[in-house]
Structures are given as C-alpha cells and as structure tokens.
C-alpha cells in the first residue's frame, strides 16, 4: 500500500468507526504528517484523493472537513467505498464514437522509476539537467545574503504567503512576453508538477476526458492517471506542435474534453515549437468551444533564436491556466514554480498548499532583480544549443540509415525516430549495459503500442565530451548490428526496467 493510501485508509476507518462525523474537522496536514512520520505532500495527496471521492471537503483558511454521511461497514472493501462515493459521471457519453480513442494509461507507462534513468554514466533518460549548467555558487551567495538580511523568516512557515518581490518580478517577466496577468492570480507553487495537479483538480472530475498532445510529456499521462482521467490523444508534429485541425475535427463531432493540456513552446519529448499563427488559431478554437487550456511553459525561456516565443496566454489570457517554472532553467533543488490561474485564481487560492520557503523565493527574486537571471540564461541557451547540435551530429553519423532526428529551436530534448522495425523498449537494457539511458517511445503516449521505434533524449543531463560521442557510437553499432528489431514485442510486465520520470 502506498503512503497516501495509508492516509486515506486511516481517515476512512475513522469515519467508519464514527470517530469522525459529518462536518468534523480532519487533523491538519502537518499534524497528520507528524503522526504518520511522512511528508506533508503525501498527506495532501491522500486528502485530495478523498476529496475527489466526495468524502471530505476543504474550506478556505480552515482545513478539511468530513462530508460523508456514512460509509459501508468494515466488511466492505475500499473498492466498494470508492464505487459508493464516486458513481460514474462522464462528460462524454459511452455511446459517442470518438474520432481519437481515449486511452487508459498502461501499467508499463505508469511506473515511476527515475533511478533507472539516473544511475548510469550517461543518463539521457533523466528529466533533471546537469547541475554544472546552473549558477550554483552565485545562488549560494544570494541565499546566504537573504538568510542574513531576513533572519526572522528562516524559522517561519510560509503559510498563505508568497514573496511580494518574486510575484512582482514574475509579473514583469510575463508582461514582457505579452502574457498579461494580474497580481492576484499569481500563486507561487512547490514545483511545476504541483501546479499541474492544482489546475487538473480545479478543471476536472474523475472519469473526465482530457485532450493531450501526443507524443507528450510522460508527466502529463502520469497525472491524468493519478486523477482517474481519460486521455484523448491529439497528434503533435515534431516541429510545429499540436495538430489543431485534428482537435477541431474531434470537437465538431461532439466530443467535449474537460480541458486541453499541452506545452506549446519546446514540448517534451520533441522540442516542438508551435508557430504564432497556429497558437492564434488554437486559441480561437478553444474560445469557440469553451475549452479551458492548461499551458505548461516550463521551457519557454530556452529559445535558441533572437526572441522568446509567446505563450498561449498572450493570445487568450482569460481561458488559460499558465504554469511557469524555474526548476529547469535556474535550480531544480529550489522547486519554485508559479501558476497564473486567471478566472480560477480564487478557487486555486482556496485549495493551494503553500510549502515553498520564503527564503528560497526571495533568493530567486534577487537573482531576477539584479540581472543574474538574464546573464545566466544567455549562457545557458548557447550551451544547450551547442549540446543539441553535437548530439544531432553524432546520431546522424552513427545511427542506422533511415533514422530521423528533430531539429528543435529551443529546449533540452531530441526526438529520435529509428526505422519502423526497431523497438526501443527492447533496446533499453542494451543501452544500460553501455552506461546510457534514454526514454523509450512508449512513455510518451497512453497507448503502449505507439512510438515503439522512437526514443527521447534529454541533452541537458551531461555536458558534451568525447565520452558522450563514444557511447553514441557504440550504441549506434548495436543498432546497425540489428539489435532491438521488433521480431518479439515485449509485454508491459517484461519492461519493468522502464520507468516514467516526471521530474
């Protein structure tokens, strides 16, 4: 049983026994975390799932309260409890014929095993950039300075509080990108994943259909599964992003997703950049069909050209949940992200769990204020562009004839399409023996049969050197020798070494 399930079980048992009755307040998140010796995020996850089932409800500035009248007795199973509290209420009738089939995330893609990606000399399947790319010493100096100047906040909880300095700097950034936002809609979040979770929680209910780009970020599919949602995969071009015409076709036939989830700027895994005319068309479609959008713009600042690409929020400020993050561009360890929630800001404010320390927020704000971020990003873009160029050159030299490689205009990722007869799931253990990891294509779709001949490479996990070139050469020799051909497709359970790493 997972830790958050233990939290759920404890609360369910207390309700069953009558120790917690309707309108009773649950133990606070911090109190429950101390009692069970687990993290506050784990307790929060358990409470959120219970709220999704209708057993409890959060109240502004107050906590979580029991809403259930009664539960089945002790002889009943947790499954029966779930069915009692969560009857199927799907937005899309089961009688509707969907142009694009909604899928349930297969077990082999649900696995969360980043250690399989990290514990090799060349972790090209890891989601985290190499720390050597970041201004670690400069950040350490600023952190020490902030801690010294604001000594009173070091031992203070950041409850219901965001750094005004950081919020102001974020507003300046977004205004510079023409993504106009109001101060009261900016919320500082503990990492991009929590921001996405918050957006999905507000816009969806279990069983809802969510449109998502395919191939897409594995973290999207993991979260959709986490919330009990169905995926409606919309094809995405490796260069220009989401197929807007296909989305229109789906909507015209009556299918109504609860929301659209995508990364229009340098998406994972292809690095696709949606051109501005296509973004404008997409926003018109979403407005026409009243389709809310969750925009993950984590990589928007990592452009290789002369100017930053505009976010979707610049075209459609009122209909977009905008997620931005400093994790992939400044420091993963700080886990500072933000959410511009638009008209949903009040609801997001009500349910958010603020756990990003103020000292960390102030450190990031100071780096933005004094120009440190601008200088760092200038260097980082050059380094990433050179890294990706070197990876592309080596892959084009060493991999089999018929291999296609994307040419991204920003971001961290390369999408490699091998000839159709290859199965990258079978190649994964062979690559590990060479000291290299990558992301097999099945991770980027809810259908485990998709993209079997493809792989995603994170080119920011290691600085380019001759050893990287050599391991790509050796792996290319394995491919040219015919390993990994699809003469035998491995079932999901045989791919236990392949894990989803959502960062």
Domains in the chain, start-ordered, CATH in brackets? Answer: 3-85 (1.10.10.10), 107-133+375-495 (3.90.1150.10), 136-371 (3.40.640.10)
Which of 68-77, 139-148, 324-333, 474-483 is predicted least confidently?
Answer: 68-77
Q: Can you tell me whether residue 454 is helix, strand or coil?
A: strand
Tell me the pLDDT band of 447, cut-offs 50, 70 and 90.
confident
Q: Kindly tell me if the per-residue pLDDT of 157 is higher than 70.
A: no
Q: What is the pLDDT of residue 228?
A: 87
Higher pLDDT, 111 or 282: 282
Q: Looking at 90-94, 157-161, 441-445, 458-462, which range is the least confident one?
A: 90-94
Does residue 20 have a pLDDT over 50? yes
Q: For residue 211, what are the β-bridge partners?
A: 232, 260
Q: CB-side exposure of 98: number of CA atoms within 13 Å? A: 20
Alpha-helical regions (H) of 86-135: 107-110, 114-118
Query: pLDDT per residue over 289-307, tens digit each?
Result: 999 999 999 999 999 999 9
- Please name the residues in contact with 218: beta carbons below 8 A apart, sequence gap of 6 or more: 109, 268, 439, 443, 444, 500, 501, 502
Token pair for 229: 């949602």
Confidence of residue 346 (pLDDT cuts 50, 70, 90): confident
Q: What is the pLDDT of residue 106?
A: 43
**Average per-residue pLDDT in the chain?**
84
241-242 vs 230-237, strand pairing mode = antiparallel
Give yes or no for a contact between 199 and 321, defined as CB atoms under 8 angstroms apart. Answer: yes
Q: How far is CA 429 from CA 31, 116, 205, 413, 482, in A?
A: 43, 10, 38, 21, 15
Under DSSP, the state recorded for 181 is: -
Q: What predicted TM-score, i.e. pTM, was given to this entire model?
A: 0.77
Please name the residues in contact with 206: beta carbons below 8 A apart, sequence gap of 6 or more.
52, 86, 227, 228, 229
pLDDT digits (tens, 9 = 90+) for 236-280: 999 999 999 999 999 999 999 999 999 999 999 999 999 999 999
Is residue 490 predicted with pLDDT exceeding 60?
Answer: no
Token pair listed for 123: 């972790």
State how far the alpha carbon of 389 is from the alpha carbons of 51, 385, 386, 394, 395, in Å. Answer: 48, 6, 5, 9, 10
Lowest model confidence (mean pLDDT) among 66-70, 139-143, 480-484? 480-484
The answer to whether residue 89 scores a pLDDT higher than 50 is no
- Identify the H or E element spanning 146: helix 136-149
């Amino acid at each position: 049983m997972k830790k958050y399930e233990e939290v759920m079980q404890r609360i369910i048992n207390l309700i069953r026994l009558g120790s917690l009755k309707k309108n009773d307040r649950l133990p606070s998140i911090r109190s429950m975390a101390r009692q069970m010796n687990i993290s506050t995020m784990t307790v929060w996850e358990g409470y959120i799932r219970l709220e999704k089932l209708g057993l409890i409800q959060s109240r502004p500035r107050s906590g979580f309260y029991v809403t259930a009248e009664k539960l089945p007795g002790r002889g009943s199973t947790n499954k029966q409890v779930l069915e009692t509290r969560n009857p199927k209420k799907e937005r899309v009738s089961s009688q509707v014929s969907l142009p694009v089939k909604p899928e349930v995330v297969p077990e082999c893609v649900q696995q969360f095993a980043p250690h399989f990606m990290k514990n090799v000399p060349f972790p090209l399947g890891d989601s985290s950039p190499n720390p050597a790319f970041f201004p670690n010493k400069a950040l350490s100096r600023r952190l020490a300075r902030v801690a010294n100047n604001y000594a009173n906040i070091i031992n203070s909880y950041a409850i219901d509080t965001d750094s005004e300095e950081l919020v102001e700097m974020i507003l300046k950034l977004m205004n510079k990108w023409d993504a106009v936002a109001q101060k009261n809609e900016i919320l500082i979040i503990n990492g991009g994943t929590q921001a996405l979770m918050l957006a999905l929680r507000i816009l969806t209910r279990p069983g809802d259909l969510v449109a998502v780009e395919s191939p897409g970020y594995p973290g999207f599919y993991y979260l959709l599964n986490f919330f009990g949602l169905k995926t409606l995969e919309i094809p995405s071009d490796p260069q220009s992003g989401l197929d807007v015409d296909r989305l229109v076709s789906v909507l015209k036939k009556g299918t109504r997703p609860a929301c659209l989830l995508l990364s229009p700027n340098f998406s994972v895994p292809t690095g696709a950049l949606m051109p501005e005319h296509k973004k404008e068309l997409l926003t018109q479609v979403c407005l026409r069909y009243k389709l809310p959008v969750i925009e993950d713009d984590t990589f928007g600042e990592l452009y290789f050209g002369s100017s930053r690409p505009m976010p979707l929020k610049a075209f459609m400020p009122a209909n977009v949940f905008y997620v931005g993050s400093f994790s992939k561009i400044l420091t993963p360890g700080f886990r500072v992200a933000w959410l511009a929630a638009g008209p949903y800001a009040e609801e997001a404010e009500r349910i958010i769990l603020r756990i990003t320390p103020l000292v960390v927020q102030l450190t990031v704000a100071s780096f933005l204020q004094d120009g440190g971020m601008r200088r760092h990003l200038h260097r980082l873009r050059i380094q990433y562009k050179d890294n990706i160029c070197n990876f592309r050159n080596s892959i084009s030299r060493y991999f089999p004839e018929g291999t296609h490689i994307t040419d991204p205009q920003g971001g961290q990722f390369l999408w490699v399409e091998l000839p159709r007869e290859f199965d990258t799931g079978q190649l994964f253990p062979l690559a590990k023996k060479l000291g290299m990891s990558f992301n097999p294509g099945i991770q980027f779709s809810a259908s485990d049969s998709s993209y079997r001949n493809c792989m995603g490479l994170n080119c920011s996990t290691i600085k380019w050197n001759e050893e990287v070139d050599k391991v790509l050469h050796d792996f290319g020799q394995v491919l040219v020798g015919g390993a990994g051909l699809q003469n035998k497709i491995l079932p999901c359970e045989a791919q236990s070494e392949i894990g989803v790493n959502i960062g």
